[in-house]
Amino acid sequence: MFMVNWHLLPNEKKIHNTTMSRKVFLKYYFAAVMLVVLSLAVFMMPYLMPSLPIPAEIVGIVLIVLALVPAGIAETKKCREMILITTDRILVRKFDNVSGSVNIEAIPFDKLTNVRVKQTRTQRMLHIGDVVFVIVTTEHVLKDIDNPYKIEKAVYRIMEKEKLRARG
């Protein structure tokens, strides 16, 4: 699912790539597990309460199917934002689940003015965060990225190399 090498220009090398963290979707996975546990309990109901109006197998199967919904939601949201850092630019790929469109933006390092990380308490505990790329007055935000400070450091290193190369 990562961006492939055909996005690279000649003499450009891939440095780092990432997507949204799966840790963001722990609540969806937890809901799926709880529904599966509940369905197993329902399968046991005929042994505990033999006079049920609805067959327990049907209720259990419905709950297992419903358990797939939160996990499916998490998996479809996972790949909506990707980032690829190269030696010359940052490629940001955003996927819109509603329209199915894909937008790939290239942010050249010479246009980049700032990079910062925004984290909530929960994100900090999960070691994820939002990476904000600032170009003059425009902000490009990538949400829920694993190890955001690693990306920030990599971008700053490349920006410093660009400054040194520009000075000559």
Question: pLDDT digit string (tens) for 19-62?
Answer: 767 777 777 778 777 877 777 777 676 666 666 677 767 777 77
Q: Which residues contact 22 (CB under 8 A, 6 or more apart)?
A: 74, 78
The DSSP element (H or E) to which 66 belongs, if any, is: helix 56-78
pTM for this model (two decimals): 0.65
In residues, how long is the chain? 168
**AA identity, residue 15:** I
User: Which two structure tokens, joined as six digits, stand for 18?
Assistant: 């990432």
Closest CA to 86 of 32, 33, 147, 162: 162
